[in-house]
Amino acid sequence: MRALAVHRDVVVLVSRVWQTTCTLVRGGDEGFAIDSPVYPDELEAAGELARQAGFDVRGLLATHADFDHLLGPLAFPGAALGVAETTAARLRAEPGAPQRELRAFDAEHYVARPRPLSLGAVQALPVPGAISPRWRSR
């Protein structure tokens, strides 16, 4: 995994597979993660990097319901997961689909994970949305 600091409050992590990205964003003493890396060591490193860099990740945002974008809870346990209303509807319509897709990926690529994926309570967010002015560049 590569980590690219694109701003003092924005770090982009690039996974070894499919160039999937996880973007860490910080505003003041809070942070959130958009999407996720894929492999267990990358997820562990994402959480550790965020802690060391002072990104207190309290929220997760998944851009869509494919499993490789929903792994944030494995890196940041306890952080709330937000998704677009359409993604929430897909997750409700296909319960367990991301977990099955992840198990299939792991089986194909011989990946062992320390724990299974649990999405917890998923918060549906209205789209289009807006980011509070406090998240803007300083």
CATH number at residue 16: 3.60.15.10
Look at residue 136 and tell me whether its pLDDT is greater than 60: no
Convert 34-72 to b/e letters by CB count within 10 Å (16 or more is b): bbbbbbbebbebbbebbeeeebebebbbbeebbbbbbbb
pLDDT band at 133 (very low <50, low <70, confident <90, very high): low
In tens, the pLDDT along 73-123 reads: 999 998 999 999 999 999 999 999 999 999 999 999 999 999 999 988 899
The answer to the question of residue 136 being in a domain is no
Residue 39 lies in a domain: yes
Query: Residue 113 is part of which domain span?
Result: 2-125
Domain membership of residue 80 (yes or no) is yes
Q: How many domains is the chain built from? A: 1
Residue 130 maps to a domain: no
Mean pLDDT of the chain: 91
